[in-house]
Amino acid sequence: MPSVLALFAHPDDIEFVAAGTLALLKQQGWDVHLMNLADGCCGSTTTSRQETARIRLAEAKQAAAHLQATHYNPIFHDLEIQYTQDALIHLVGIIRRVKPTIVMTHAPVDYMEDHMQTCRLAVTAAFAKGVPNYPEPSDPRYEPAFYNNVTVYHAQPHGNRTPLGKFVRPGLGVFVDGVMDIKQSMLAEHRSQQAWLKESQGMNSYIQTMHELGSQVAGMLHSRLPRERRGSYAEGWTKHLHLGFSDADADPLQEVLGPLAVKLPSI
């Protein structure tokens, strides 16, 4: 059974930008694995760090259950994700056990540091899956290396823009209309975030924001398609350079999802 591993920063990040594509892969028989590197402890103005982290872990597990996904516990607090050897060894171990065909993560340039640090860790961990001398084989955390193709895909940055406001167009768009009910149900599990996101980031409804961002990505694809192939919602992906990860032509999202996956030319 092929597998996909989604490595993102905070509880609800996966649901905003990746849950639809993950649901489509699940429908194709893929094994789904989800991890948020941070515990969400800062995502409240009313509960303590410890209570907030407890609530958000429970919400993340409930969301993962919609895909019957394997869920991995966080290893950082919010705003503390760092590129460290301990974190990298931990993620390399997960990747070597899962042996994913696809690793999904944040965009390299995104609106906050936790996202970008998660991206760095995810990319290097995917690269290191085939480096047998990392970590030191005597390390008790060591897992045997493997050499299959692993294709890394970067999600759209939050707001579909860089931190300096530049609009970002993905290399590949995946129409997710048929699984929007699953995507919305997964995001709705993060009930604690409705008030927080409204107060901290101006989202009147985090569900509505998710729909707006998906509609914006779908609009980027429409110029490439006849009207009958257009959808209302899409998730955007950009494939990481293949060197050190996979064969040059490996593009499993395109291969597996077929007409739902639309390539956009580089500009």
Which is it for strands 70-72 and 102-105: parallel, antiparallel or unpaired? Answer: unpaired
Tell me, letter by letter, the H, E, C secondary structure of 119-170: HHHHHHHHHHCCCCCCCCCCCCCCCCCCCCCCEEEEECCHHHECCCCCECCC
Query: Percentage of residues in the chain with pLDDT exceeding 70?
Result: 96
Report how far residue 74's alpha carbon sits from residue 235's, in angstroms, rounded to the nearest whole number. Answer: 24
pLDDT exceeds cutoff 90 at 58 = yes
pLDDT exceeds cutoff 60 at 267 = no
DSSP-assigned states of every residue in 240-264: PP-TTTS-TT--HHHHHHGGGEEE-
Tell me, letter by letter, the H, E, C secondary structure of 180-204: HHHHHHHHHCCCCHHHHHHHHHCCC
Torsion sign across C-alpha atoms 226, 227, 228, 231: positive
Using pLDDT thresholds of 50, 70 and 90, give the confidence band for residue 99: very high
The CA-based angle 150-167-189, given to 5 degrees, is: 65
> What's the pLDDT at 194?
74
Candidates 65, 11, 1; CA nearest to 37 is 11
Tens-digit pLDDT profile for residues 171-227: 999 999 999 999 999 999 998 887 766 666 665 588 888 999 999 999 999 988 888
Domains of the chain: 3-263 (3.40.50.10320)
Here the tokens at position 114 are: 């936790």
CA dist 29 → 2, 24, 79, 248 (Å): 8, 9, 35, 25
Q: Is the entire prediction scored with pTM above 0.75?
A: yes
pLDDT exceeds cutoff 60 at 133 = yes
- Tally Cβ neighbours within 10 Å of residue 149: 13
Q: Cα torsion for 81, 86, 92, 96, to the nearest 10°?
A: -130
263 - beta bridge partners?
172
Please check whether residue 240 is in contact with residue 102, taking contact to mean a CB–CB distance below 8 angstroms: no
Candidates 160, 262, 259, 157; CA nearest to 217 is 160
**Helix (H/G/I), strand (E/B), else coil: 91:** helix
Report how far residue 69's alpha carbon sits from residue 91's, in angstroms, rounded to the nearest whole number. Answer: 17
Using pLDDT thresholds of 50, 70 and 90, give the confidence band for residue 46: confident
